[in-house]
Amino acid sequence: MNAGTQVCVDTRFRSAMRRMQQAGRIRTLAREADPEFQIAGMMKKLDGAAALLFARVKGHAMPVIGNILCCKENCEAAFGMDYRGIRQSVARSFGHPMAPVRVANAPVHEHVYRGKDGFDIGGMLPVLTHSDGDSGRFITAGIVVVQDPETGVYNASYHRLQLIGAQRTALRLDFGRHLRAAYERAQRMGKPLPIAVCIGTDLAVHYAAATMGSQMPESADELAIAGGLRGEPVPVVKALTQDIFYPAETEIVLEGVLLPDQQVLEGPFTDFGGFRQPAEDAPVFEVSALAHRAQPLYHAINGVGRETVMLRKYVLEASLLKALQAATPIVQDVEMTAGGLHRFHAVISVKKTIPQHEGFQRNAILAAFATLKDLDLVIAVDDDIDIQDSNDVEYALAMRMEASKDLFIIPGARTHELVRVSNGGIRAKVGIDATVPLEDQARFARAPFKAVEVEAGAFSPDAPGSLDWLK
């Protein structure tokens, strides 16, 4: 499949959960679990493996599912394709967005509660208390859908929400985010900003909401990008109480407005870097309606869990690869590494075939920093290095990188403001050229082994000739 091929992918939330179940990527806890610390603690302890379904939640009838997209195996099962197919689908979405299609009826409207009904968000939803020291209960997997009040462009993005009342939450707004820009425009107009918070929605929307950098400017419509990933438009439905549309295939939705003139302290909360963010002022989200499907699943994401960072891995890789291959002819592949939280470190695979290719590996490193501002370390290696194998990448550093010539520093560059070692988001970037000059490739080639076949079960502890005789 190439990036321009229109292939339909069933990314609906329940379809993805069924595929994961069939692939053995969901484990169910039969006994009751407590949403106060216990569920989040189990998610953390079993992070990076199968998704966890908490079928019985203390004080709630609604089950909780977590760690859905926390590892490669889960992602591949959820999408029904390998990771390269996922990346190609994401890459296709950038160049082939498809505007959403409006529908009259939606599964998410099977059960509806309006503000006059006096519903209590915290009583209806099994919102977790995550980490010791957090300031309360937080919705962490909510995707906020907003239509910019000036441009009319739809945006979808992740934001955490702290419960502060029966029908009110605080909503964290980081700097540089599109939702923050839309909110500040609404503030200048003196108007509340309508939003919808979708919990458990189409995976294409999840991935579009995780996209950032040069491939997702403020003018891009994330719901159209999600349609491009699916290969067909995302069905959206009109909100019941606000003038906004959101994905119809959603487990739970909160409708309401961000108030332009009210703020409260939000936090502390433990963020993706493992640090507890201090309390800061945040706008108030006043919820006007809560709706959900019959027998809904409540999706939770641990603030410090791998799902938090894994969600961005393939979208950032697709974005980076597209930009680098357009800028430099020798780039073969990219890997956003786990140790760099799939966000701050990248490895670039290059292939030099003619003398004129020399130097492009460093151009690619610089282009990577320009494409994704949060990248702080980029390593370029030759195409014989397996960039998904951290040991092989470290081998390239050990055997092919001469620090006095191949390491370069870009001081005073912009990174994420939550990187604590930075000065308010300013830090030095490091580029490492661990490639071999074209004329020296034969000298640096590793000795090959003959290809051999080893049949299953060929080796056994009980095979004849074992060392039992040593006794």
> Residue 443's CB: how many other CB atoms inside 10 A?
8
CA dist 310 and 343 (Å) reads: 9
Pairwise CA distance, residues 199 & 204, whole Å: 13
> Could you tell me which residues come within 8 angstroms of residue 149 by beta carbon, excluding any fewer than 6 positions away?
182, 185, 186, 189, 191, 193
- Cα–Cα distance for residue pair 111/107, rounded to 1 Å: 9
Q: What is the DSSP string of 82-132?
A: -HHHHHHHHHHHHHS----EEES--GGGSEEEEGGGT--HHHHS-PBB-ST
Closest CA to 77 of 22, 27, 13, 28: 22
Q: Supply the residues annotated as catalytic.
A: 271
In whole angstroms, what separates CA 412 from the centre of its chain? Answer: 27
- What CA–CA distance (Å, rounded) separates 468 from 471? 6
d(CA 161, CA 136): 10
DSSP 60: B
Q: Enumerate the β-bridge partners of residue 171.
A: 161
